[in-house]
Structure 1
Amino acid sequence: MYAPYDYDTLQSTLQPRDAKSLLTPNPTQRTTLIVAGCYIIGIAILWYVPFLNWIIYPFKLLTVGFHEGSHAIAGVLTCARIHSIELDPDEGGATRMSGGIPLITLPAGYLGSSFIGACLIACGFDTDASKVASLVMAAFFIITLWWARRNLVTWLLILGMVGLIVLFWFVKGSIALRYFVLFIGVMSCMYVLWDVIDDTISRKVNTSDAAVFAEICGCCPSQIWGVIWLIIAFVFFAAGVLVGLVAFKQSEEQQAQDAKHFLPVPGSSGALQIAPGLAYLLAPACAAIASYF
């Protein structure tokens, strides 16, 4: 016979955690928040200092790639035909498409890249989540290269970023990868905020996404749409931090132990066990890409 449940004890163990305990950072999360704050200050300084701004130049181009890739993905989802994606050394970009729904594809650049940044910030609180985010970024890079395969700048940028991801995957049980993912997330969100303010609020750029969007809508000037998109980008930024605080409460030691068993560092015993299967899965895709070019 089964013993009867002690419902009083069961109820006490199932009490929902209050918001304060969920949002109060533990020591590992406080370190992550401090690092993110240092990233914000460092990026803000490097943004305008001559010569030093070259340090973050590749990451500016990467965020432009997120912007243009978001345009393209929104175009595909609205049945557009994507002709090409281009990134240029002047930190500009262009996505050429035909068809689709402009009311969706135009804001997708700013909002999509800010959403990507927020997701990366959330994943930057946890090592295993950062590994998953790296694989998702790699898939995003492959999709972007499919449309930008004739653009040398895009190739060099993506190959460089993939190299950094592989490098940081090896450092200290992939802890360095977590901070790298966090940096890219902060950089992406900050670039969106700066770009929206610069293009639509502080000065009006006639060829900006907001200007074209305002012309199609015909109801509000581009500055109004810029403010709306800016608010949404801030919400995404804050949401990324909150999700990271709520979802990833493990200490750094716990994350290090978990990382040994989840997508382990290449060369470890766990990695050697999954390597043959991974190679078997990747071989057809690599062959298809190589045959296309």
Structure 2
Amino acid sequence: MPLLLDYEHATQATSPQSNNILIYARDVQSSLTPTSTQRTTLIVAGCYIIAIGILWHVPFLSWIIYPFKLLTVGFHEMSHAIAGILTCARIHSVELDPDEGGETRMSGGIPWITLPAGYLGSSFIGACLIACGFDTNASKVACLVLAVFFLFTLWWARRNWLTWALILGMAALIVLFWFVAGGVALRYLILFIGVMSCLYVLWDVIDDTISRKVNSSDASAFAKICGCCPSQVWGVVWLMIAFVFFVAGILVGLAAFKQSAAQQESDSHHFLPVPGSSGALTLSPSNSILVTAGVILSALLL
């Protein structure tokens, strides 16, 4: 009988903790269960993956996504440059070439940080864009962050005409989509760029380090510095991290942005609305001027 009482006491003592675990599990399940709007976003993202896969491997159609490939290469090189700045390197130039290659020239810094930053940084950027692609206002914020990235890239690539043409073209496309359907088109563009960036990293790592060894790749240079593992091993490690970023971007989007399409449209009318729209017209004259100036400034930055 005392054993029975002790067992009941132990059961009662642990039951609150078990209840907390169950409540936490239900909260996680609820936050990750997609709404109807999120299901649409996931379907669109899935269609993007299929379309990119087809366009990537059909030679006479690959030109359609060629600018976005170069943009992803730009993210890769920009990530090298940012890692270089954070490790006190001096950035000399950032260059892109028509063969979907790129080069970041720097002196100083910490190579075991700057070398993997290209693949991991561009996959992280892609994951952030995927998460922002679940919400219209978040997509607008993502565009402002991209504007800062673009400015730094233009500064470092001031002698590379291809980089200038790419960024100015992408800037025009982003501004155009900002004005379509109150920013809804912009959301799907940001989602596409995010998916494209993540897929490019996954495929590029497999192509350059796993399926074949490229001596000039980041993984080969990293393997020479570390000396403990071949480039293929580091390619697998980076591939796994990039895939985790990709999945994390989707999960963050599901958990953070639960608004319906109607709610997003309403919120979008009050956050950097298109000048002349109903949301902009309901603002006071002074606020309307500020909002218009904000949109124009973001367009100039982009």
TM-score, with length taken from structure 1: 0.89
Pick from 24, 27, 30: which aligns with 1:18?
27
1:1-293 equivalences under 5 Å are 18-268=27-277, 269=280, 270=283, 272-275=288-291, 278=294
Deviations 1:189-214 (A, max 9, x none): 00000010000000000010000000
Deviations 1:59-118 (A, max 9, x none): 000000000000000000000000001000100000000000000000000000000000
The code of the aligned residue for 2:290 comes to I
Task: Give the whole-Å Cα distance in 1 for the aligned partners of 2:94 and 2:45.
Answer: 30
Q: Which runs of 5+ in 1 are unaligned?
A: 1-14, 287-293
Task: Give the whole-Å Cα distance in 1 for the aligned partners of 2:99 and 2:258.
Answer: 41
The code of the aligned residue for 2:191 comes to L
Aligned to 2:180, the other structure's residue is in SS state: helix
Aligned partners of 2:37 and 2:261 also within 8 Å: yes
Task: Give the whole-Å Cα distance in 1 for the aligned partners of 2:83 and 2:207.
Answer: 23
Deviation at 1:48, TM superposition (A): 1.1
Task: Give the whole-Å Cα distance in 1 for the aligned partners of 2:164 and 2:138.
Answer: 26
Task: Give the whole-Å Cα distance in 2 for the aligned partners of 1:161 and 1:172.
Answer: 19
Larger radius of gyration: 2
Deviation at 1:280, TM superposition (A): 10
Aligned to 2:179, the other structure's residue is in SS state: helix
Provide runs of 4+ in structure 1 moved above 4 Å: 279-282
Aligned partners of 2:272 and 2:294 also within 8 Å: no
The code of the aligned residue for 2:167 comes to I
Task: Give the whole-Å Cα distance in 1 for the aligned partners of 2:147 and 2:140.
Answer: 11
Task: Give the whole-Å Cα distance in 2 for the aligned partners of 1:35 and 1:189.
Answer: 15
Deviations 1:119-153 (A, max 9, x none): 00000000000000011011100011110011100
Task: Give the whole-Å Cα distance in 1 for the aligned partners of 2:41 and 2:71.
Answer: 22
Aligned to 1:87, the other structure's residue is in SS state: strand
Q: Count residues in correspondence.
A: 270
Q: 1:26 to 1:281 in 2, by over 3 A?
A: closer
Q: 1:275 to 1:117 in 2, by over 3 A?
A: same
Q: Which moved further from structure 2: 260-269 or 175-184?
A: 260-269
The code of the aligned residue for 1:263 comes to L
The code of the aligned residue for 1:41 comes to I
Task: Give the whole-Å Cα distance in 1 for the aligned partners of 2:241 and 2:156.
Answer: 28
Q: Which runs of 5+ in 2 are unaligned?
A: 1-22
Fraction of identical pairs, as percent: 76
Q: CA RMSD in A?
A: 1.8
Deviation at 1:266, TM superposition (A): 3.0
Aligned to 1:220, the other structure's residue is in SS state: coil
